[in-house]
Amino acid sequence: MSYNYNTNQGQNQNMCFSQGAAQFQQNVQPLFPQPQGNVYNINSTLEVANVPVGAGISVALCLQEGVMYIKTMQNGNPLFWAYKIAPLDINKTPSTQEEVKQEENEIVSQLQQYEKRLSQIEQKISDIQNTSKGKGDWNL
């Protein structure tokens, strides 16, 4: 079934009859037109099955669950994409140089504590090796 969306209907009919052919051009309007794509707000991800798929792109937004679905047709095959979305936080201020340096200083101090602890453990292991030198054959 083909659809004719031509707005110059009278002109086409006159052109057909002026050629001498007894053609009758039928202007068929569909009872249920195909959806051309739209944006739908849904309350649950289960409602995405009710979103129509047509020649355009249909987008279903489920803001309560933070998901965006895209449905479309390509070469007669349905395509379906799902994306996780998150709201944009405008009130978040960018971190300043002082905050970044403070975080770096905390990381550096933590690293120094770990290095100190590691050197203490190495010292204890070497003490244990020295005291048990004649008793065992294991070496680290």
E-strand stretches of the chain:
39-41, 58-62, 67-74, 77-84
* pLDDT tens by residue, 59-112: 999 988 999 999 998 888 889 999 999 887 767 665 677 787 888 889 999 999
Q: Average pLDDT, whole number, for the chain?
A: 77
pLDDT at position 36 over 70: no
Q: What is the pLDDT of residue 3?
A: 46
Read off the pTM: 0.41
Cβ pair 36, 53 in contact under 8 A: no
Beta bridge partner(s), residue 39 = 59
Cα 133 to Cα 135: distance, rounded to the nearest angstrom? 6
Q: What is the pLDDT of residue 4?
A: 47
